[in-house]
Amino acid sequence: MATTYRRVRSTRLLVLGLLVASLVAITVDARGGRDGPMATLGRGLGAVMGPLQEGVAAVVRPIGSFVTNVFRSGSLAEENTTLREEIAALRREAAEVNSLRRENAELRRLFGLSERHGFTLMGATVTAEAPGNFEWAVIIDKGAVDGVTVDMPVINADGLVGRVVDVYPGSAKVMLILDPDSAVSVRLSASGDRGVLQGQREEPLLFRLIDAETEVQPGEAVETSGYSLEEGLGGVYPPSIQVGVVDSVEPDPSNLTLEVRVRPRVDFSRLSTVGVITGQQPLPPPEDADST
Mean pLDDT, the chain, whole residue set:
75
Which pLDDT band holds residue 77 (cuts at 50, 70, 90)? Answer: confident
Q: Are 205 and 244 in contact (CB under 8 A)?
A: yes
Is the residue at 286 inside a domain?
A: no
**Which pLDDT score, from 0 to 100, does residue 34 have?**
56
| Nearest one of 170, 121, 176 to 145, comparing CA atoms | 170
| Nearest one of 247, 244, 240 to 267, comparing CA atoms | 244
pLDDT digits (tens, 9 = 90+) for 144-183: 999 999 999 999 989 999 999 999 999 999 999 999 999 9
Is the residue at 2 inside a domain?
A: no
Torsion of CA 154, 156, 161, 167, to 10 degrees: -30
Give the residue with greater pLDDT, 240 vs 134.
Answer: 240
**Which pLDDT score, from 0 to 100, does residue 38 have?**
53
Strand partners, 246: 262
Do residues 140 and 275 share a domain? Answer: yes
CA distance 225 to 235: 9
**Which pLDDT score, from 0 to 100, does residue 17 have?**
62
Which pLDDT band holds residue 60 (cuts at 50, 70, 90)? Answer: very low
**CATH code of the domain containing 185:** 2.40.10.340
Is the residue at 140 inside a domain?
A: yes
CA distance 14 to 145: 102
Do residues 189 and 73 share a domain? Answer: no
Do residues 62 and 20 share a domain? Answer: yes
Give the residue with greater pLDDT, 14 vs 115.
Answer: 115
Is the residue at 287 inside a domain?
A: no
Residue type, 273: T
**Structural domain harbouring 216:** 118-280
Do residues 130 and 111 share a domain? Answer: no
Based on the structure, what is the number of domains in the chain? 2
**Could you say which of 117, 138, 155 is where a domain stops?**
117
Query: Which CA distances in Å does 89 have to 86, 101, 156?
Result: 5, 18, 31
Which pLDDT band holds residue 209 (cuts at 50, 70, 90)? Answer: confident
Do residues 276 and 264 share a domain? Answer: yes
Q: Are 182 and 175 in contact (CB under 8 A)?
A: yes
Do residues 80 and 146 share a domain? Answer: no
- Dihedrals phi, psi of 183, to nearest 5 degrees: -140, 130
| Nearest one of 202, 200, 195, 257 to 222, comparing CA atoms | 195
